[in-house]
Amino acid sequence: MKNGRRRRNKSARNEAATATGSSDMISKLPDDLLLNILERVDTLDAIRTCILSKRMLKLPAMFSRFDIDIASIARHTDESCGFTLRDVVRINGAVADVTENIMFGRSRDITIRKLRVRFILRRYDCLSIGTSVGRAMATNKVEAAEFEILTEKVHEGCTPADLLNFATQFNTFLGASPDAFAGLTCLRLRNMRFGESGIPNILSTCKCLKSLHLTYCDSGINYVLQVEHDQLVEFFIDYGHFQKVELVCLPKLERASYNNWVSCEDPLSFGFVPRLSKLSLTKAGTRSHKTLELSQLLADVPSITEMHLDFESEKIWVLPECPTLLAPVLGKLQFVNLDNLPEGCDIDWTMFILEAAPSVKELCISVRDHWCTIVTDKKLRQEYGYLDKANVAWKPSASNFKHKNLAKLTIYGFQLDDNFVRYISCSLEFGDGLVSCGSFLVLSELGHAMWSCVVHFCS
């Protein structure tokens, strides 16, 4: 009897499995819906899924979005003890092979909505990727294409000779793949030191470029980079060793960011940038660095609506100025983020922005000593020119000043001491928008979930 029951149970399970398989809902979905699902995941995962199903074998040739990333290919390897240089070379070669196979096998009638390839700068792999992508751009309509190019060494392990060598390798790649670069809309580079014509040559070759990200890329500390491009919408520099970056003529530029410049001059100068609306600056200020005067820095860009300033828990490198000087350049400013102000410093000085910018709707301030990044050793602080925490002098220009539009004030790192309590009192005195608009004030303490509260002001 027991054996008979087992056979009947097994038969029932097999019948259920067969019934389930015959009613597989995924296989009944139309192609456009399946494509919509598959194009939302990593391209390699999507291809592997299609290979496992006869129903979906034809779909990879119909993809309109591709994300081919060396990291995603590495995840699919069986290496459990880390990667050697040989492994990295092999995986990077796989990126080139996957790119070539996908670009060669796809339907030419289907527009490529987005193509992203992230790979390491190696000669033969780059030439293969450049040829494949260039051929696709010549035979298909490509709406958006992105190259993110890494180097074999991280920046901490790079010598000046390495930076020059990586730039030389990239220039060779650029010259050998003009069709691919001519159609790029986004380019991300790192760890390269170009000659004087290097970056301008990139901009002139990448005619469709809308986004350029340079990380640890430069042309030497005494070089003034002049940027001109008809299509560029966003331009980001991280750790750029330039004397200055001049945004000469960028008629479509909307977003600019410069993180950690080394020059003692103003990091940026602005020429014809009529659409620039978002500006982000990050710097750990030292004794030798110039204090920025926003009235001068932004004299030619009165269109800024969003501004982010990150002080990395060190010196305040912005000079509080009177409203008469600042109002002409901050008249359209609506959103302000002042990040990583050093602990222990008086934060009243931040009010000078509100006095000069009547259109500000939201102000966000974070106050903390970021122990992961700040230099704590006293000798090193002296050597690098880091200053002790000091208050920034500021006095309100008018005792009866009222701000009509400020609707939201957020403070991260709030503490119950005179510094913060006085700031809140001052905000309420002239912040008509906070009280009359029914908006709210958020106070919280970074790293201490034990204390937080929300205060809501209503008319």
What pLDDT is recorded for position 90? 85
- pLDDT at position 56 is 82
416 half-sphere exposure, CB direction, 13 A CA radius: 3
Cα(353)–Cα(330) distance, rounded to whole angstroms?
A: 8
Give tens-digit pLDDT for 435-458: 444 455 555 554 443 333 444 333
Q: Global pTM?
A: 0.84
Highest mean pLDDT among 75-79, 342-346, 397-401: 342-346
- Beta bridge partner(s), residue 8: none
Question: If you average pLDDT over residues 95-111, what whole number do you get?
Answer: 83
Cα separation, 225 vs 240, whole angstroms: 10
Q: Which residue has the higher pLDDT, 187 or 39?
A: 187
Between β-strands 211-218 and 278-282, what pairing exists: parallel, antiparallel or unpaired? unpaired
Question: Does the structure show a pLDDT above 70 at 135?
Answer: yes
Structural tokens at position 406: 């400020």
* Neighbouring C-beta atoms of residue 316, cutoff 10 Å: 22
Least confident piece of the model among 82-86, 168-172, 304-308, 390-394: 82-86
The residue type found at 321 is E
Tokens linked to 422: 């006085």
CA 358 to chain centre: 29
Q: Which of 49-53, 372-376, 437-441 has the lowest mean pLDDT?
A: 437-441
Q: What is the pLDDT of residue 372?
A: 65
Amino acid letter for position 363: L
| Strands in 403-447 per DSSP E | 408-412, 440-444
> Tokens in use for 163?
């930076």
Structure confidence at residue 98 as a pLDDT band (50, 70, 90): confident
**How many CB atoms are closer than 10 A to CB 254?**
17
The answer to whether the beta carbons of residues 223 and 248 sit under 8 Å apart is: no
Interatomic CA distance for residues 356 and 166, integer angstroms: 45
Q: What is the pLDDT at residue 371?
A: 60
Percentage with pLDDT > 90 across the chain: 44
Both tokens of residue 55? 């129903």
Residue-by-residue DSSP string for 233-283: -EEEEES---SEEEEEE-TT--EEEEE----SS-SEEEEE-TT--EEEEE-
Q: Is the confidence at residue 298, as pLDDT, over 60?
A: yes
Determine the pLDDT at residue 375: 63
Number of H helices, E strands in the chain: 15, 17
What's the whole-number mean pLDDT along residues 130-148? 91
Residues 6+ apart with CB under 8 A from 417: none
CB under 8 Å to 129, separation ≥6 — which residues?
Answer: 95, 96, 99, 100, 117, 119, 177, 180
| Three-class secondary structure of residue 227 per DSSP | strand
Between CA 286 and CA 381 the distance in angstroms is: 9
- Please, what is the average pLDDT of the chain? 82
Name the pLDDT band for 304 (thresholds 50, 70, 90). Answer: very high
Which of residues 327 and 285 earns the better pLDDT score? Answer: 327
Nearest-angstrom CA–CA distance, 399 and 437: 22
Rounded to an integer, the average pLDDT of 416-421 is 76
Nearest to 189 by CA among 170, 207, 208, 204: 170
* Spatial distance between the Cα atoms of 183 and 142, rounded to a whole number of angstroms: 8
